[in-house]
Amino acid sequence: MDVAPFELERWFAEYEHDADVMLAESGVRSLPASDFDTDPGELGYVIPTKGAPDVRAAIADEHDRTADEVVCTVGTQEANFLVFQSLLSPGDHAVVVTPTYQSLHAIPESICDVTRVPLDPPEWTLDVDAVAEAIRPETELVVLNNPNNPTGRQHDEETVRAVYDLAVDADAYLLGDEVYRLLAEDPLPPVTSLGDRAISTSGLSKTYGLAGLRFGWLAGPSEVVEATERWKDYTTISPTKFGQHVARQVLTGREAELREDALAHVRANHEITAEWAREHGIDWPDPVGCNAFLEVPASFENSATFCRTVVEESSVVLAPGRCFGDAYDDYFRIGFGLPTAELREGLDRVSTVL
């Protein structure tokens, strides 16, 4: 099995460590560990290894599932990986809506045939008929990241339901990567509420600024959950004890307060970034969450040239659209979830380059 290099991670590896401002992080500013009790007691495995029943019950409540239909994972990344390994085999087929976080197509592509269905710019709308056309008799999985990274587009309930119905008609599953769901002011219900052919994955990295916890989950029908547990025994065995300890504090008491803080922060930064884009004549797509996929200014040849110039001249990291596929070389992703003073500093520096 071979897998394509993760272009965005490779780009970050080249520049992130030494740059002054990271203007391409996809989540909300990180919270300090001192905001939480960080003593989980004895450092044995988390038992049961799929996560403590009370933590799974809290996640299950949000997902119209039982605690048995939830598996806690090491980040959303592992949750997605387990779903792909469990549901896809050589000879199968998957449909993935793109552009998106690369692992959502790269892992399936390492296993079986994949058809990518592109969103339509400039609004990044999803053509449900294009999903219907992409589906084949051997399609096992349809993958939709909503709200979407990198575009910030949130597809409405009707569209998601239509995609789910297509998956059901094909005897396939819908995987909804919903790691940005709670960054919407009015979040959609998780796809698991649509029925027994839907799987939701998510985690605490993005909304709560807790990426270093590496805590995520998947929720879905029991046959899928059991299959993912079989794979998890060979990946990480259990989530981390520290991760679960802090996750419990978030999910069983502090969720509303922490989310409200994050939304207020994102709202303020959204305005600042939108204003900056307008000043430079760059179209602003009004994204959900704290990522925007913007057009590369006309004076630059492509996304790599632009982002390389910005990082080399001003020590600010942006994400080239090319990392999301060759078709997106006219775009760059800007992440505005960082602390507001850093955001202002980063935007000022990019302005100087422009």
Q: Which residues bind ligand PLP (CB under 6 A)?
A: 26, 75-77, 101, 145, 149, 177, 179, 203, 205, 211, 216
Residue 11 token pair: 């780009």
Burial of residue 152, with CB atoms counted within 10 A of its CB: 0-12 exposed, 13-18 middle, 19 or more buried: buried
As measured in angstroms, the least distance from the Cβ of 267 to ligand PLP is 20
Nearer to ligand PLP, 76 or 154 (CB): 76
Least Å distance, CB 163 to ligand PLP, is 16
Q: Which is nearer to ligand PLP, 116 or 349 (CB)?
A: 116
CB-nearer residue toward ligand PLP: 179 or 347:
179
In the complex, least distance from residue 148 CB atom to ligand PLP, rounded to whole angstroms:
8
Q: Considering the complex, state which of residue 19 and residue 211 has its C-beta at the smaller distance from ligand PLP.
A: 211
Toward ligand PLP, which CB reaches closer, 150 or 349?
A: 150
How far is 298 from 247, CA to CA, in rounded Å?
Answer: 44
Long-range CB contact pairs, 258-266, < 8 A, 24+: 258/31, 258/207, 258/208, 259/182, 259/207, 259/208, 262/28, 262/183, 262/207, 262/208, 262/209, 263/183, 263/185, 265/28, 265/29, 265/337, 265/340, 266/28, 266/183, 266/290, 266/336, 266/337
Q: Given the complex with ligand PLP, which of 131 and 210 has the nearer CB atom?
A: 210
User: From the CB of 130, what's the least distance to ligand PLP, in Å?
Assistant: 20
**Token digits for 56?**
């799974």
Distance CA 131, CA 145 (A): 14
To the nearest whole angstrom, how small is the minimum distance from the Cβ of residue 55 to ligand PLP?
Answer: 15
Q: Which is nearer to ligand PLP, 322 or 349 (CB)?
A: 322
Considering the complex, what minimum distance in angstroms separates the CB of residue 73 from ligand PLP?
A: 8
DSSP state of 189: P
The residue number whose beta carbon is nearest to ligand PLP equals 75
Report, in Å, the least distance between residue 180 CB and ligand PLP: 7
- Shortest distance, position 351 Cβ to ligand PLP, whole Å: 26
Q: Estimate the share of the chain in helix, then strand, then coil, as percent rounded to the nearest 5.
A: 45, 15, 40
Cα–Cα distance measured from residue 103 to residue 77, given in angstroms and rounded to the nearest whole number: 8
- Closer of 27 and 285 to ligand PLP (Cβ): 27
Query: DSSP character for 341?
Result: H
Tokens of 67: 């605690």
The structure tokens 């939709």 sit at 144
